[in-house]
Amino acid sequence: MSIRNLFLVFITLFCLTHNKMYGQLNSFENLEQYNEIGLFKSSLKGFFKGFADFGEPFQLGGGIGIGLRSYNAVGGPLRQDPFFYTINGHLNVRIYQIELPLSVVMTAKNTTSSYPNFSDLKESLKQNLRDKANSFARIGMSPYYKWAKIHLGHRAMNFSKYTMSNLNFFGAGLELNPGKIRIGGMYGRLAKAEPIDLSLTTPNLPVYQRIGWAAKLGYGDDKASADLTLFTARDDENSISIPANYPEQVTPEANLALGVTLQKLFFDLVRIKVDYGNSTISPNALDADSPDTGITNFLLKKKNTTYVAHAIEGSIVLETKTFNAGVIVNRVDSNYKTLGTYFFNRDIMDISGFTQFGLLDGKVNASLKAGIQSNNLDKSLPTTNKRLIYDAQLTYAIPKVSASFNYSNNTARVNYLLNQNLDSLNAVIVTRDMGLNIQYNLPTTNEISHAISATGNIQDVSDDIEKPSRTLTSKVLLGSLSYMLRLPSDWNFSLRGNYTQNEISGLQTDRVGYGLGVRKAFFENKLTIGVDGNFYNNKNALGQKSKNAIGQFMVAYQLFKGMGINLQWGLLNTTTGTGPAFTESIGNLTMQYQFSYVPKKKSKQEKEKNNKAE
């Protein structure tokens, strides 16, 4: 499908999403009436309504939190940093009806002591600030007023699934959503230049600076809508210099992606959705120009190596008050790529049907899904894998009993990368999972409450079905049983037992555990104190055994409105048959303060008094 034809399809379907508009334009009747109540007037009605309603001139709210974590080990090596600091804060300033939200998180650590050391803290914070200033700073804000929002600094925006989806950028963006109209846009740096670092023993992979922009136009509501998205990005070939003999060679890329998203509810019963993506990629923007041109050549000049790939997801769903049922089709070319996303499930074709319904006046709810999944769409692989995928979830709930059951068999082909110029990680993950959970609240004649819950889960995972010689399988069996007792005096008791069987590459490990917990609230729930203990026995198929004993104490207290403090301290003792026992201790102290401020308005009498005084 050419870009020109795609635009024609979008315009036609856009008109169909507004039945009244389509009918009147088709017959050219009542144009005067349509002009009075037509698309633009109905959509822009109230566009500026409320701007004069300024509301409160100033409001301030937010919070600040401090976290301290101490760690120590006796009889064994330290497995964590001995002391860790966390400082977080968020602030929301509202000036009339404009919101200005801000947030920040800072961390620091001691490397030599399990106690606070202000000298280490000072040096760690300095280093933290230097690191953030160099490359890890993420500062941004998104002030908004009603349906208008501005993004500034380091932000992430979502335009469509197959063009630009939640990719972090440094720049500016805009979202306008008055009524049924949706307008969006962004411009900024998608990747920061990372030149060659000759000080490294292992050559680093250089990264070009990448600049991109996106635009979105849409109209409609839940019953019918159409959205068109355009995204383009290009690497700056002059942002870094790579010698010809450098072992890690990369090329600057360029991309133009077009997305169309349509959905329509027919007869208040059948919903049709389509999400289409068309991506044109130039793997090397320095290649010679291609003689082929098109209407988008001014946005992306085609090279000899430029190629086009497609992705589409569509669904037809029957929506009723008692059940939903439908069909979903998902197809993504094996070479589909856009510079506006982090990763994609590519080379995949899914056709599946699903249904959701309730029985027995809503006591039973079911969700069923089954379909066929295949790969090797371009026939470039020696074999093609086809799998039957299915998923079933059942829930049952009455006042005293609740139960849930799930069973699934799914495959996910993942091409994951944090930086699009780094080597990708390819994996095929097959997961079979079955779980059951039952909870029963014992009937009582007083305010004492008893509850028993049982959970079981079986999971089977393999990570590469195409190369059996490289397959690493994992099988996990989990089972737990717990009893909870709550007394009217705010005493809470819990007793539990669990069993875990884990098999990785043929080596089986079994764990049996028991636990007991007690918690009590005082002073109208302002103070809570609790203790918890767990014991585990572990052994594997090689005859190796170990034991773990865990104890934890916690206290939480609300000092005053908005201010709370929480202290947790725990011990972990580990004994093995092959080495000495060792004990680890972990303590956490957190303090959190939430606040809000609205200036007090002067009464009419106070204003009159001040006027007289003047």
What integer is the mean pLDDT of 576-592? 88
Tell me what pLDDT residue 90 has. 85
Quickly count: other Cβ atoms within 10 Å of residue 160's Cβ.
25
Q: With left for phi above 0 and alpha for psi between -120 and 50, is residue 55 left, alpha or beta?
A: left
Q: Is residue 421 over pLDDT 60?
A: no
- Closest to 279 measured CA to CA, from 160, 171, 166, 189: 160
First to last CA, the chain: 76
| Per-residue buried b or exposed e for 247-280, using 16+ beta carbons within 10 Å of the residue's own CB | eeebbbbbbbbbbbbbbbbeeeeebebbbbbbbb
Tell me what pLDDT residue 111 has. 65
Report the alpha-carbon distance of residue 15 to residue 11 in Å, rounded: 6
For residue range 183-233, list pLDDT tens digits in order. 999 999 998 888 877 666 677 778 889 999 999 999 999 999 999 999 999
Tell me what pLDDT residue 3 has. 47
CA distances from 527 to 487, 523, 524, 575 (A): 17, 6, 8, 35
Q: Among 239-243, 258-262, 479-483, 549-553, whose mean pLDDT is lowest?
A: 239-243
Q: Is residue 130 over pLDDT 80?
A: no
Tell me what pLDDT residue 14 has. 44
- Closest to 567 measured CA to CA, from 65, 67, 63: 67
Report the alpha-carbon distance of residue 495 to residue 453 in Å, rounded: 11
Q: Is residue 477 over pLDDT 50?
A: yes
Tell me what pLDDT residue 451 has. 93
Q: Is residue 470 over pLDDT 60?
A: no
- Closest to 277 measured CA to CA, from 221, 178, 345: 345
Report the alpha-carbon distance of residue 315 to residue 157 in Å, rounded: 25
Q: Secondary structure of the chain: what % helix, strand, coil (to 5)?
A: 10, 55, 30
Q: Among 88-92, 104-108, 205-209, 569-573, whose mean pLDDT is lowest?
A: 104-108
Side chain identity, residue 118: F
CA 134 to chain centre: 26
Report the alpha-carbon distance of residue 511 to residue 536 in Å, rounded: 7
> What's the token pair of residue 357?
């319904």
Highest mean pLDDT among 109-113, 486-490, 570-574: 570-574
Report the alpha-carbon distance of residue 572 to residue 75 in Å, rounded: 12
Tell me what pLDDT residue 159 has. 94
Tell me what pLDDT residue 577 has. 77
For residue range 9-25, list pLDDT tens digits in order. 444 444 444 444 333 33
Q: Is residue 91 over pLDDT 80?
A: yes
Owner of token pair 């669904």:
315
Report the alpha-carbon distance of residue 95 to residue 610 in Å, rounded: 25
| Per-residue buried b or exposed e for 578-606, using 16+ beta carbons within 10 Å of the residue's own CB | eeeebebbbbbebeebeeeeeeeeeeeee
Banded pLDDT at 587 (limits 50, 70, 90): very high
Side chain identity, residue 232: T
Contact (CB, 8 A) for 253 and 283: yes
Burial class (CB in 10 A: 0-12, 13-18, 19+), 443: exposed
Report the alpha-carbon distance of residue 75 to residue 505 in Å, rounded: 31
For residue range 256-277, list pLDDT tens digits in order. 999 999 999 999 999 999 999 9
